[in-house]
A and B are shown apart, each in its own frame.
Chain A
Amino acid sequence: MSTHIPSSRITWIARGAASALFAFALLNTPALAQQKKISFLTWNIADQEELFKEWIAEFKKIRPDVDVEWLDKKGPEFPAYYQTQVIAGTPPDIINTQGGLWLEYAAAGGMVDLTPYMAKEAEVRKRFNADYLANWTYEGKNYMLPFYISKTLLFYNKTMFKEAGLAGPPQSFEQMMDYAGKMSKGDKTGMLTLNFDWLYWPFFKMNGVELLSPDLKKATFNTPKAVQTLEALAKATADGGINKISWTGRWVEPNGAFAAGNVGMLHAHSPAFFFIRGQAPWLNAETFGVAHVPGGWATPNSHGLGISKGSKHPDIAWEFLKMVTSEKWTAKFSERRKVLTGNIASDTTTLEKMRKDDPLAASVLQTQLEQTDKLTGNWRLAQDSRVKNAFYPEIQNAVLGRKTASEALKEAETKVNRALAR
């Protein structure tokens, strides 16, 4: 092969190599410094453009010397965009992340620790619901402020409950599975859950299963109780008590299915309510109820606001954060998007107002402020996404019937421990 290579080819290879070096040199030169301007990158909330424009206008009054740029990317592209910007040396100063993504960045040292700022200005810390604020602490440092908050709860279809002769929401895991079975016949399913970002974890937690040891060093979930739980879930799935979409669907399918009115219970977080109501003409106080899952456990899936380490003006960014998390602005935000923001004062007023003009929505959001001491599935874990990626496929294997529960959990245990070791 390497005998007689036409000269043209050699020159090509040479050129390739040379230009590669050249390119590498290019790529490693630092990016140009930007003028006094901060940008904030939100996660799939393009519908609030008006509000963000008002933020920017207001901030211009406070800091006339600073321009603010707003960017929005939806979930799947958000990391791609942000990471590209980071490598290019121009990360958006403020980022809004959902679920556990922030951990990836914080643990890798990509985010500014906000604890000192809050130490300086204690009133800022006091604004927020402490339980929610605590979600964004990694190794004792607080990396994000609440933007808007939510955790899982149980929506249920009262009509279907009546048909099945069920009084109220289930009080135990067994009852939950039992109800699911009772309500599933024909095209009707008993129950659905969202599965991304550990949202399904309360099922295990309510059975006393712990994913990891307290020091987060090793997996502790492979217990007889866990096997039982998983077997129950698998059985319910096989019998149609739980709709299979629970384990494969993301957002539209489960919520759409529940909105269609032939699913008894939906385990999801509060934003689902508005999506469902948009598609469910049948929905009202008589036909629709909300409750905590047995044991009151819930997985938070809140949105936080943090500052990139690469930011040229972290202090200005902090000022901006202070402004937008103030009572005035969180109240506006809550009202327009019907979310809670973790700002105690504005959340109270919002809920009071909402109880008058939209009691049903109020009852949903109310649950988000109850039992906030029982948050689970939010381990402050550097390898969160890798653990998730090691664990969840095995759960799928079990609930969709490719492996027995014990096999799956055993396999998961080794994989999770491997992920933790890295």
Chain B
Amino acid sequence: MTTTWLRLIGHRFVLIPFCLALTAAAWNGYVSLHDGGLVRGVVLGPGGAAVAGATVSMMEKNFTTNSDRGSTRTRADGSFEFTNNRSHNILLRAEVAGVGRSEQITVRLYFRSQNVTLDAPLTIKLDPPRNG
């Protein structure tokens, strides 16, 4: 009797789905612990020095349009943080009014509002000087 039960549990049609379920559960557990929507990064100037008070704006990437998801300012050490990212595919751009702006970078995440710290800094490029 018990042996048949063991055989049943050991059967691949039971075992494999069970393992899959486990993996899924584990993954969801991990996700629920890491989806705080935090996006951290640093803004550097052309010289490589941290830029304080730069405006970093975040956009959600859709296929045709990018919807604005607000902006924040960098701290004294040039670091910034968003806490409200709800997407898995965002764009970031840093700008210092009148001075310059950084490239727009795409950040793709493995799941929605995954906590992430950018490994590359946003580097400000100076605007071409306008005359007049």
Contacts and interface: CB of A to CB of B under 8 A. Distances in A.
Contacts of A337: 64-65
B15 to A, nearest CB: 38
B5 interface: no
Contacts of B64: 47, 274, 278, 336-338
B92 to A, nearest CB: 17
Contacts of A274: 64
Interface of B is mostly: loop
A335 interface: yes
B60 to A, nearest CB: 11
A261 B96 CA distance: 36
B13 interface: no
A284 to B, nearest CB: 15
Interface size range on A against B: under 10
Nearest to A271: B64
A338 B63 contact: no
Nearest to B67: A336
Nearest to A337: B64
A88 B62 CA distance: 38
Interface in A311-370: 335-338
B62 to A, nearest CB: 8
B69 to A, nearest CB: 14
Nearest to B65: A336
A335 B63 contact: no
A338 B66 CA distance: 11
A337 B64 CA distance: 7
A384 B63 CA distance: 34
Contacts of A338: 64-65
Kindly name the residue among B62, B63, B64, B65 whose own CB sees the greatest number of chain A CB atoms within 10 A: B64
Contacts of A336: 64-65, 67
A336 B67 CA distance: 8
A181 B67 CA distance: 43
Contacts of A335: 65
A336 B66 CA distance: 9
A335 B64 CA distance: 10
A171 B65 CA distance: 34
Interface string B54-90: 0000000011110100000000000000000000000
Contacts of B65: 335-338
A274 B65 CA distance: 10
A387 B131 CA distance: 62
Interface string B13-57: 000000000000000000000000000000000000000000000
14 contacts: A47-B62, A47-B63, A47-B64, A274-B64, A278-B63, A278-B64, A335-B65, A336-B64, A336-B65, A336-B67, A337-B64, A337-B65, A338-B64, A338-B65
Q: Which 5 A-B pairs have the closest CB atoms?
A: A274-B64, A336-B65, A338-B64, A337-B64, A338-B65
